[in-house]
Amino acid sequence: MKILVTGGTGFIGSHTVVELQEAGYQPVILDNLYNSNKEVLTGLKAITGRDTPFYEIDSTDEAAVRKLFETEKFDGVIHFAAYKAVGESVAEPLKYYENNLGSLIVLLKVMKDFGVSNFVFSSSCTVYGQPDVLPVTEDTPRQPATSPYGNTKAISEDIIRDHVYAKPGLKALSLRYFNPVGAHPSAEIGELPSGVPSNLVPYLTQAAAGLREKLVVFGDDYDTPDGTCIRDFIHVVDLAKAHVKALELLNRQPETNFYDVFNVGTGQGNTVLELIETFERANGVKLNYTIGPRRPGDVEKIWAQSDKANSKLAWKTEKTLEDSLRDAWRWQQKITKG
């Protein structure tokens, strides 16, 4: 089965291409390389032994997307392509709404016209805001978004749901990611943040590699065991495998309208300091870090209940936080060496 992976040269997209290939699917990548580079294709070939078909297309370009659907007959679409920098979205909301919602609408329209019925969407736990009860389940009420980025994810879920129920024949899932971390164990692909990383683990590994003077922990006065924020850090390979399971669930559905949502997390929360300690222990390196002020907009604590994905997707995490941080460090050392 041929699967279109938009954003397939990105962090989660590239790892999902590997798992799709290994599960016998034929992934095809659509990416505009805005936040990734073609070198990823070399890494994918090193892992899979094959050239993954790649089309440099902007997923908001309807004519180009249509032309691709005329060229390739897809059995499904996994949609990763989106801008994802929380801070930037606050400064540039229109850029985020236009790109993230525009690309989704183009894809749904073109899929409908070409009779492609299986759709997996990359959503985020950010739709939960700061939950009152933890862990969060899929029934936990969504809270008003804390950023335009987060709002595009919530609105996208609603667009997909409304479209599915209006136009029978489409089967769609939204996967709500928690905090994807780590890299492929082969160190052939991993996270390639552009500029100064805003996410914790890439900044941490750059600091450990001496590319950054130190890591600043954003606040230790939260209501948590050690005062630092709690997150559900999931290995990117486990997250990638969840997408294969999601496609399998859609393939099992009768050809009618079907929409569902899954939390994709480990089900365990760790504090930022626990992550740092795990990184130091797993890799035998000492990290230079200090405690700084809170980062505005940060959620204090959130982690998933993934029972629904465990049962309905027949998926669960296999890798530990230590695995994630060992793989992240191996990848950082490789790209630092160049």
Considering only residues 40 to 99 of the shown chain, the ones binding ligand WQD according to CB under 6 A are 84, 86
Single out the segment in contact with ligand WQD by CB under 6 A; choices: 55-63, 66-74, 88-96, 212-220. 212-220
Residue 267 tokens read as 């089900």
Residue 98 tokens read as 């236009």
Pairing outcome for strands 230-231 and 270-271: antiparallel
Q: Is 231 in the site for ligand WQD (CB under 6 A)?
A: yes
- 138 or 298: whose CB is closer to ligand WQD? 298
- 258 or 269: whose CB is closer to ligand WQD? 269
Min dist CB 115 to ligand WQD, Å, is: 30
- The alpha-helical segments, DSSP class H, found in 23-170 are 39-48, 62-71, 86-91, 93-96, 102-113, 148-166
The site map against ligand WQD for 252-291 (x = CB under 6 A) is --------------------x-------------------
Considering only residues 169 to 198 of the shown chain, the ones binding ligand WQD according to CB under 6 A are 179, 198
- 65 or 236: whose CB is closer to ligand WQD? 236
Give the integer Cα–Cα distance in Å for 29 and 198.
Answer: 26
Residue 321 tokens read as 């936080």
Interface residue with ligand WQD among 298, 307, 308, 334 (CB under 6 A) is 298
Give the integer Cα–Cα distance in Å for 181 and 166.
Answer: 36
- 58 or 191: whose CB is closer to ligand WQD? 191
Give the integer Cα–Cα distance in Å for 248 and 236.
Answer: 19
Interface residue with ligand WQD among 107, 160, 200, 247 (CB under 6 A) is 200
Number of residues that bind ligand WQD (CB under 6 A): 18
Q: Is 121 in the site for ligand WQD (CB under 6 A)?
A: no
Handedness of CA 106, 108, 110, 113 (dihedral sign): negative
Considering only residues 2 to 41 of the shown chain, the ones binding ligand WQD according to CB under 6 A are none
- 229 or 304: whose CB is closer to ligand WQD? 229
Q: Is 161 in the site for ligand WQD (CB under 6 A)?
A: no
Q: How far does CA 33 lie from the centroid of its chain?
A: 16
φ and ψ of 297, to 5 deg: 90, -10
Residue 188 tokens read as 């052939």
Give the integer Cα–Cα distance in Å for 59 and 64.
Answer: 8
Q: How many residues does the chain have?
A: 338
Min dist CB 218 to ligand WQD, Å, is: 4
The residue whose two tokens read 């894809």 is 107
40: alpha, beta or left? (left if phi > 0; alpha if psi -120 to 50):
alpha
Q: Is 199 in the site for ligand WQD (CB under 6 A)?
A: yes
Q: Is 331 in the site for ligand WQD (CB under 6 A)?
A: no
Known active-site residue 149: yes
Looking at the annotation, which residues are catalytic?
A: 149
Residues that bind ligand WQD (CB under 6 A): 84, 86, 124, 126, 179, 198-200, 203, 215-218, 229, 231, 272, 295, 298
